[in-house]
Amino acid sequence: MPKLVTLPATAPRDEILAVIERDGAVILSDVLSKKQVDRLTAEIMPWVEATPTGTDGFTGDRTTRTGALVARSPTCRELIMDPTINALCERFLKPSCERYQLHLGQVIRIMPGQTAQPIHRDRWAWGTHLKGVEPQLNTIWALTEFKRENGATQVIPGSIDWPDDRRPTEEEITWAEMPRGSVLIYTGTVFHGGGANVSDGDRLGLNITYSLGWLRQEENQYLSCPPDIARTLDPALQKLIGYDIGAYALGYYTPPLPPGEGPEAVSPMFALTGDETGGTLGSAELLAEITAKTSAA
């Protein structure tokens, strides 16, 4: 049976990235303190407990999935902006985009009696149309201990090079067993799936994922965190959830105002600040990035 590499939270980022690029997944142990996990859990549990279970074999009839975490949980916002994870996104995703973005924020509770989720790739959110590019870098933060018995995530290390129709044998599957406060980091291409919970307690995980800024997000952040909430957030988080131009001419909009009472084309940030800075499309900075890349090519 293969094993996932587990590194300390203080491991060098180059070392973490090397394991991700080779295996498609790595565990960082004990990243969060007990106090941080307790605070996060207290913030989100009222919504988790009110969330209905899934309705099919993939979402799980003994599994709940709770979103809108940017709007609901200050501690989740901190984790979304975690410096190590965002540094890895910069290294892993930025070669294929001008901006990366928050793709999904979701608390997944696997309850006793849940069978194993079908093995899959998260990149299938876009079907199998994307070729030759890695669209995602993902995390699952352990809010309870992850054990094989309570539904720890199934992972197939090294499966990033498999064709989409390849199915793992039992001998190729391992489980992301990790202490509470640890985090599994994995790519959108590695095969994985929620485990079966044969224990008498819930397995609670916080799934935060990031994607290339030119792709549609799995969770519509503009509806989950609308402008009246988003304008209260830190500007860096505002941009990460999508209130920014994704490339020079990607994501601008025209405010639906009476004639002559507003700009014609602005960044989504205008919805939060009313600031027209940045020109009619993207910023000069973004144009310079694109020009540099095309010149190098």
What is the structure's pLDDT at 262?
Answer: 86
What is the structure's pLDDT at 279?
Answer: 47
Rg (CA), the chain: 20
What sections of the chain are H helices per DSSP?
13-23, 34-50, 69-72, 74-80, 83-93, 221-224, 227-230, 235-240, 270-273, 284-296
Which two tokens mark 35?
Answer: 């106090």
What is the structure's pLDDT at 265?
Answer: 87
Which residue ranges does the chain devote to CATH 2.60.120.620?
Answer: 6-212
Residue 245 backbone dihedrals phi, psi, to 5 degrees: -75, 130
Spans of the chain, pLDDT less than 50: 278-279
What is the structure's pLDDT at 281?
Answer: 62
The span from the CA of 189 to the CA of 157, in Å, is 11
Q: What is the pTM of this model?
A: 0.94
- CATH class assigned to 6-212: mainly beta
pLDDT 10s digits, 171-226: 999 999 999 999 999 999 999 999 999 999 999 999 999 999 999 999 999 999 99
